[in-house]
Amino acid sequence: MASPSLLVAGGTVVDPANDVHAARDVLIEEGRIAAVAEPGTIAADGAESVDASGCLVLPGLIDMHVHLREPGYEYKETIETGAQAAAAGGFTAVACMANTDPVNDSAAVTASILDRAREVDLVRVYAIGAVTMGLRGARLAEIGEMRRAGIVAVSDDGQPIMDGELMRRALEYTAMFGIPVIAHEEDRAIAGGGVMNEGAMSLRLGLKGMPAAAETVMVARDIALAEQTGGRVHIAHVSAIGSVELIRAAKARGVPVTGEASPHHFTLTEAAVDGYNSNAKMNPPLRTAADVAAVRAGVRDGTLDVIATDHAPHHRDEKDVEFDAALNGIIGLETAVPLALRLIAEADIPIATLVRAMSTNPAKILGVPGGSVGVGDVADVSVVDPRRRWTVDPAKLRSKSRNTPFGGWEMTGQAVATIVGGRIVHRLDGKERRKKSA
Amino acid sequence: MTFTARHLLGLEGMSREEILYILDTATSFREISEREIKKVPTLRGKTVIGFFYEASTRTRMSFEIAAKRMSADFISLSAGGSSVSKGETLLDTARNLAAMRPDGIILRHPSAGAPHFLAQRVDCPIINAGDGAHEHPTQALLDLLTIREHRGTLDGLKIAIVGDILHSRVARSNLHALRALGAEVRLVGPPTLLPRELRAWAEVTHDLAEGVRDTDVVMTLRIQRERQGANFFPSLDEYARYFCLTQSALRGAKPGVLIMHPGPINRGIEIASDVADGPYSVIMEQVTNGVALRMAVLFLLINRSREADMPEIEAAPEPALHRKAG
């Protein structure tokens, strides 16, 4: 069924792919961008209108690193609740990691995830396949079969690939499909079972630390392997100053490496763990103020191409335990936009850079539609009110889980409308008024 | 002053006044254990649960004796013999215990922060009897009590702590409390067990002789045998060669240096027998003081109407050098 025409009017389009940062109305027809023009110049008889006055009109945000937990862990999140959280957070697309149960290491699991996503029919859901069977780090999964079923990348996220030779083969082999290997960088031996960053705070709290070197040595290895093989490696959730520096230097040499920053890693330090706050427990862990500054600098200069949430829902029972026993990870889809917007003032990062990191670059890295609001492009649009103030109430989030360290935070900026393929999948009540002329 | 804390979770952030108040209270309780009838009715009708997720001899017995000498009912529970072995969570077990309306729960747990976790969720005073590598506040307080009895004050004393600082909750609690009371702390051990970040808290050295030079007190820590397999040091023999507290290693210390150890001792590994049993060793006094100190902690945290009960206990006297019974 064809969607009705839609006029997103009165907003400021920030579309770095087309070098646009200006007041523009956007007309959507048949699921595509039909026109982008000066305010008030589009004649759109019969079009439904979205009032975007005071808002940013962005190419649909793409979160290339989420855990939707289905199949297998539906008590934490489902494709449906995850997609609802994504839409509410301003994301038009997400890419879900393979650490489900069963693991997404076969075409059958890939197909079932994508089928389920089609039934849910909210935001675009892309599947990331496992690099290795069962994420066990021993044998390559059938990456080609999964690619035919629709995967856009491979990753053993949650598990590092400790076998360097296997990582080398994965990088070589995936080059045939033009998809990246997304690397969770952690030398398990060096991490040594740590539960937070190793440093002054872990020492004080008596918690086992994992040193930053556990991450950086693996980043160094995988950069060397990418350089050797020409395969594309995408470094997930970069947390340490050394990793940012390695990626920056590698890019300068032309190594096919991209990097990713998670909002918590550019917002919080290990100080958030104080008081044994299990909602500040994640892997890689929150690190120091210097690391936060380095991650921000990485986003600023493009060393870290992407902002992705690593949305990792866990049930209350898995977090409301002693710190050592708590599972790693936090939810992030509904808090990413305001946390990213903070970087404009706090880290001198232009909005266009944020849009690249949250839309244009992930689209490019995964080879998926979107990332731009040009005529003819797929009509995935995020309308964000950058001044809207709200308080994070974990109980009111759409995600099935509540594990956020940002509960109670005063946020500025929120998605007010999320448009996928010309269809409004999220609209903030009371703010936006649906109005049909004709 | 009045002691208003509801829990004893750790000594980090505890003020000099609070620490001294606990020590003074403990000092006043010492003589109860010297009596013919070692019992006062102060905590009669109070119920104290000792919940031990880890093995413990000294701490557990010390708390139990302290509770009983105060006439509290003491019930002891270990993880192995409880529903923990059936998979019950710490929180659920603690909630069930709290539902039986005890007046305090003493918790020893292998995870740092476990007592803090419970204190936020269970309506009952929690006393930390050792949480992972974090704190062991009553051990440090009894160490302070012992030092103060001998030296009168902690102010300006030079104190070396030798051994596995990284994994030691005793060291952490002592560091906080000793610094609060004005002592100068030196940490001695191999770099693998002495993270660089410790330099923010204390002087750090890897040379035992240098570390104990001019010290008033040397505390040695138990070296856990399993650390050997984790390559923190090559062998216990080599560890002993560098860090075993021997007579000769102590040559540079002040005359009459106090030798302390929280136990259990590995003789010949972190401390030589002739030092552990020698004239300057106060290791057994630490154990004796542990009872008085824990009586004080139970009294201060559990006896909500303590002013009314005070007449049974003498007011805390001035810190005294070696108070003899009588």
Peptide bond just before A284 cis, omega within 30 deg: yes
What is the DSSP-derived secondary structure letter of residue A96? E
Partner B contacted by A276 (CB < 8 A) = yes
Report the alpha-carbon distance of residue A400 to residue A389 in Å, rounded: 23
Partner B contacted by A275 (CB < 8 A) = yes
Would the CB atoms of A321 and B135 count as touching at under 8 Å?
no
Report the alpha-carbon distance of residue A285 to residue B94 in Å, rounded: 29
Task: Evaluate if residue B35 carries a pLDDT over 80.
Answer: yes
Which residue in B has a C-alpha nearest to residue A190's C-alpha? B230
Chain A residues in contact with B93 by the CB 8 A cut-off are none
Chain B residues in contact with A325 by the CB 8 A cut-off are 90, 111
The pLDDT tens digits of the residues spanning A79-118 come to 999 999 999 999 999 999 999 999 999 999 999 999 999 9
Would the CB atoms of A206 and B169 count as touching at under 8 Å?
yes
Would the CB atoms of B112 and A324 count as touching at under 8 Å?
yes
Task: Evaluate if residue B139 carries a pLDDT over 60.
Answer: yes
Identify the CA nearest to A85 among candidates A104, A118, A61.
A61
For residue A353, the surrounding DSSP H or E stretch is: helix A351-355
Chain B residues in contact with A204 by the CB 8 A cut-off are 12, 172
Neighbours of B219 (CB within 10 A): 27
Which residue in B has a C-alpha nearest to residue A204's C-alpha? B134
Would the CB atoms of A206 and B114 count as touching at under 8 Å?
no
Q: What is the pLDDT of residue A46?
A: 86
Report the alpha-carbon distance of residue B244 to residue B176 in Å, rounded: 25
The pLDDT tens digits of the residues spanning A9-28 come to 999 999 999 999 999 999 99
Would the CB atoms of A206 and B117 count as touching at under 8 Å?
no
Would the CB atoms of B90 and A320 count as touching at under 8 Å?
no
Identify the residue with better confidence: B228 or B75.
B75
Q: How confident is the model at residue A195 (pLDDT cuts 50, 70, 90)?
A: very high
Q: Give percent of chain A with pLDDT exceeding 90.
A: 96
Neighbours of A328 (CB within 10 A): 16
Q: What is the pLDDT of residue A2?
A: 53
Contact B276, B283 (CB under 8 A): yes
Chain A residues in contact with B226 by the CB 8 A cut-off are none
Q: In the predicted model, what is the mean pLDDT of chain A?
A: 96
Report the alpha-carbon distance of residue A36 to residue B40 in Å, rounded: 86
Task: Evaluate if residue A269 carries a pLDDT over 90.
Answer: yes
Chain A residues in contact with B195 by the CB 8 A cut-off are 198, 203
How close does chain B come to A206, measured CA to CA in Å? Answer: 4
Q: What is the pLDDT of residue B224?
A: 84
| Catalytically active residues of A, by annotation | 310
Candidate from A208, A275, A317 with C-beta closest to B116? A275
For residue A213, the surrounding DSSP H or E stretch is: helix A213-229
Query: Which of A35-49, B118-132, B178-192, B298-312 has the weakest average pLDDT?
Result: B298-312
What ipTM was assigned to the predicted interfaces of this complex?
0.90
Q: In the predicted model, what is the mean pLDDT of chain B?
A: 91
Identify the CA nearest to B202 among candidates B185, B218, B219, B189.
B185
Report the alpha-carbon distance of residue B307 to residue B145 in Å, rounded: 23
How close does chain A come to B170, measured CA to CA in Å? Answer: 11
Partner B contacted by A207 (CB < 8 A) = yes
Q: What is the pLDDT of residue B313?
A: 45
Would the CB atoms of A206 and B195 count as touching at under 8 Å?
no
Instruction: Scan residues 10-69 of A and list those with Cβ closer than 8 Å to B.
Output: none
Q: Quick one: average pLDDT of A250-257?
A: 98
Would the CB atoms of A206 and B172 count as touching at under 8 Å?
yes
Chain A residues in contact with B113 by the CB 8 A cut-off are 205-207, 276, 322-324
Q: What is the pLDDT of residue B304?
A: 67
Report the alpha-carbon distance of residue A170 to residue B79 in Å, rounded: 46
Which residue in B has a C-alpha nearest to residue A322's C-alpha? B114
Chain A residues in contact with B117 by the CB 8 A cut-off are 276, 321-323
Chain A residues in contact with B132 by the CB 8 A cut-off are 206-207, 324
Task: Evaluate if residue B322 carries a pLDDT over 70.
Answer: no
Cα radius of gyration rounded to whole Å, chain A: 21
Contact A328, A338 (CB under 8 A): no
In order of their start, the domains of chain B are 16-135+287-312 (3.40.50.1370), 137-284 (3.40.50.1370)
Q: Quick one: average pLDDT of A396-424?
A: 98
Contact A414, A32 (CB under 8 A): no
How close does chain A come to B221, measured CA to CA in Å? Answer: 16
Residue A12 main-chain phi, psi, to 5 deg? -105, 115
Candidate from B133, B172, B200 with C-beta closest to A200? B200
Would the CB atoms of A207 and B112 count as touching at under 8 Å?
yes
In order of their start, the domains of chain A are 6-57+377-436 (2.30.40.10), 60-366 (3.20.20.140)
Q: What is the pLDDT of residue B86?
A: 79
Partner B contacted by A316 (CB < 8 A) = no
Instruction: Scan residues 78-117 of A and list those with Cβ closer than 8 Å to B.
Output: none
Would the CB atoms of A323 and B197 count as touching at under 8 Å?
no
Partner B contacted by A206 (CB < 8 A) = yes
Q: HSE, CB side, 13 Å, CA atoms: give it for residue A62.
A: 28
Partner B contacted by A290 (CB < 8 A) = no
Partner B contacted by A320 (CB < 8 A) = yes
Neighbours of B61 (CB within 10 A): 15
Would the CB atoms of B198 and A208 count as touching at under 8 Å?
no
Partner B contacted by A323 (CB < 8 A) = yes
Chain A residues in contact with B121 by the CB 8 A cut-off are 320
Q: How many CB pairs under 8 A join A and B?
A: 57
Structure tokens at B261: 């150890």
Task: Evaluate if residue B114 carries a pLDDT over 50.
Answer: yes
Which residue in A has a C-alpha nearest to residue B10's C-alpha? A205
Which residue in A has a C-alpha nearest to residue B194's C-alpha? A203
Chain B residue set in contact with A, beta carbons under 8 Å: 12, 89-91, 109-114, 116-117, 121, 131-135, 166, 169, 172, 195, 197-198, 200
The pLDDT tens digits of the residues spanning B167-205 come to 999 999 999 999 999 999 999 999 999 999 999 999 999
Would the CB atoms of A207 and B134 count as touching at under 8 Å?
yes
Identify the residue with better confidence: A380 or A432.
A380
Q: How confident is the model at residue B306 (pLDDT cuts 50, 70, 90)?
A: very low
Task: Evaluate if residue A3 carries a pLDDT over 80.
Answer: no
